[in-house]
Structure 1
Amino acid sequence: MSRARTRVIPCLLLKGDSLVKSVKFKDYRYIGDPINTVRIFNELEVDELVFLDITASKESRSPNFKLLENIASECFMPLAYGGGLRTLSDVRTIFNIGFEKVVINSAAFSNPDLIPEIVEIYGSQAVVGSIDYKSNIFKRFHVYSNGGSKKQDPSPKEWASHLETKGVGEILLTSIERDGTWNGYDIKMVKEISQSLSVPLIANGGAGTVEHLGEVVKMGGASAVAVGSMVVYQKKDMGVLVNFPDKNKLKDVLG
């Protein structure tokens, strides 16, 4: 039986009505209009898209449902959304709009019952548990919520295990320190966590080349890869250009 093809997923950041790209969860640069970007990704036939509203939880506000409705109506591929989802009612609205998955990060801390409630109604495959992490001066890794602004106690591995017991269908693991750097994924952490899980792990933070994607899958055991800077810029330190790696190149590096 042939192995399922590795998904390569653009992870797009919303700030207000605009798409932005961050470096280490700061230094946001304007990318463009989300609707136009979706249309380009439609033409490029990407596997799926993830939209994250990076300030909703930090600002304790609800998602921009109108914008998300417009995005869903334009998009031909499976969609996931995260940011500001605090209640089952929020989640229900996201699914009714046309998104297939929700990405839960901060609410897993503030509303521990939310993930099991979603899973019971919509199934595990509809819930992505999101983990943002970075190390402190003692090189100890911590999970951060609220757009990377609030330090939490668990280690990434402990929190991944906890999210799995809550019923998530997959984990989105983001290195804050590698976000937007183009330096490659945190293969060591991806490997440590992927080996401890029975659900798929999506590696995120640091992709700069197609070779980086191959490395984190083959050496880190990632089931899927999320990409940001490399699909919204021409190259590092160059202008905006929405793009997607060549399918044959991806096949070569991902196997």
Structure 2
Amino acid sequence: MKKRVIPVLLLKDGRMVKGRQFKDYRDTGDPKGAVRIYNAQDADELVFLDIQASLQSRGALVDIVRNAATESFMPLTVGGGVTSTDDVRELLRAGADKVVITTAAVKQPGLIRAAAEMFGAQCVLAGIDYRGSGADARVWLHCGTEATEHHPVALAKSFAEQGAGEIFLNCIDRDGCMEGYDLDMAAQVADAVPVPVIVCGGAGHFMHLAEALQQTAVSAVACASLFHFGDNNPIRARSYLRNLKIPLRVLK
């Protein structure tokens, strides 16, 4: 399977934001402009995550997705506050290609299966936000504010068995720190499930992307700070990875 490089846009009140370890968010711009830029920069796909995840923010999220779908050729993955198959349907109708279900995937054990059966597994991503490492790692819900007793590997296996088409694995401890992905957990999860795994949280330079793609079986690397701050972009990232003989999708 070809590897992917995926920018992540965190949204709040219709604006892009970026924080560190799921807190201290600051405004990083207009998502409409970012969509146009990433579309021109050979991103494999684009992820929108609404961190507000409220009924009030849902309208803004749907509008952003609808606008992005009209001017983008990238696949669009969208998440944040998805609690029902109706929510999934609304986002897919707005133009999303895939929908991320995170908190509700744990709170409502039948939701992943129901969404996969209704819309197809390829449309359903199960999100896992976690803190800690090794055997002590635990999954957290509601944007990192509610702890659970679930271990990321066990939960990923359960989600895959329920029909999730991909796993979106996000390390809260490394979010925004730009010190590299949690390669140990990424490897454990990718080896444990038969579906693609997207790793997120920690990318600070292109070598971090290469390490994840070369040293683990993850299918994609997702980045926010790497592309938000500085002059890095997907074109340069893909060129760097190609020079290391990492197989990437041909986009043009």
Please, what TM-score do these two structures have when normalized by structure 1? 0.90
- Structure 2 residue matching 1:50: 3-state secondary structure: strand
1:249 aligns with 2:244: no
How far 1:30 moved relative to its partner?
A: 0.9
Match of 1:32 among 29, 33, 41: 29
How far 1:254 moved relative to its partner?
A: 5.6
Could you tell me which residue of structure 1 aligns to residue 220 of structure 2?
224
Could you tell me which residue of structure 2 aligns to residue 237 of structure 1?
none
Could you tell me which residue of structure 2 aligns to residue 147 of structure 1?
143
Structure 1: which 5+ residue stretches go unaligned? 235-240
- Structure 1 residue matching 2:122: 3-state secondary structure: helix
**Structure with higher helix content:** 2
Could you tell me which residue of structure 1 aligns to residue 250 of structure 2?
none
Q: Deviations over 1:32-87 (max 9, x none)?
A: 0000110111111211000000121xx56662322332232232210000001111
**Counterpart AA for 1:36:** G
Match of 1:19 among 2, 16, 21: 16
> Could you tell me how far apart the structure 2 residues matched to 1:120 and 1:99 are?
17
In the alignment of these two chains, the number of paired residues is: 243
- Whether the 8 Å CA contact 2:43–2:235 is kept in 1: the answer is no
Matches within 5 A, 1:75-114: 75-114=72-111
- Whether the 8 Å CA contact 1:194–1:220 is kept in 2: the answer is yes
Please, what TM-score do these two structures have when normalized by structure 2? 0.91
- Whether the 8 Å CA contact 1:46–1:77 is kept in 2: the answer is yes
Could you tell me which residue of structure 1 aligns to residue 190 of structure 2?
194
Query: Structure 1 vs Structure 2: percent identity of aligned residues?
Result: 40
- Whether the 8 Å CA contact 1:52–1:82 is kept in 2: the answer is yes
**Counterpart AA for 1:83:** G
> Could you tell me how far apart the structure 2 residues matched to 1:165 and 1:6 are?
23
- Whether the 8 Å CA contact 2:41–2:235 is kept in 1: the answer is no
1:129 aligns with 2:119: no
- Structure 2 residue matching 1:180: 3-state secondary structure: coil
Match of 2:210 among 210, 214, 217: 214
- Whether the 8 Å CA contact 2:9–2:16 is kept in 1: the answer is yes
Match of 1:69 among 31, 50, 66: 66
**Counterpart AA for 2:19:** S
> Could you tell me how far apart the structure 2 residues matched to 1:45 and 1:24 are?
28
Give the 4+ runs in structure 1 shifted more than 6 A.
none
**Counterpart AA for 1:212:** H
- Whether the 8 Å CA contact 1:61–1:84 is kept in 2: the answer is no
Q: Deviations over 1:191-245 (max 9, x none)?
A: 11111111111111000111111111111221111011011111xxxxxx57334
**Counterpart AA for 1:52:** L
Q: Deviations over 1:121-146 (max 9, x none)?
A: 2111111111000029x972110111
**Alpha carbons of 1:103 and 1:70: their partners in 2 closer, same or farther (altered >3 Å)?**
same
Q: Which has the higher contact order (CA 8 A, sep 6+)?
A: 2
1:179 aligns with 2:175: yes
Structure 2: which 5+ residue stretches go unaligned? 247-252
- Whether the 8 Å CA contact 1:142–1:151 is kept in 2: the answer is yes
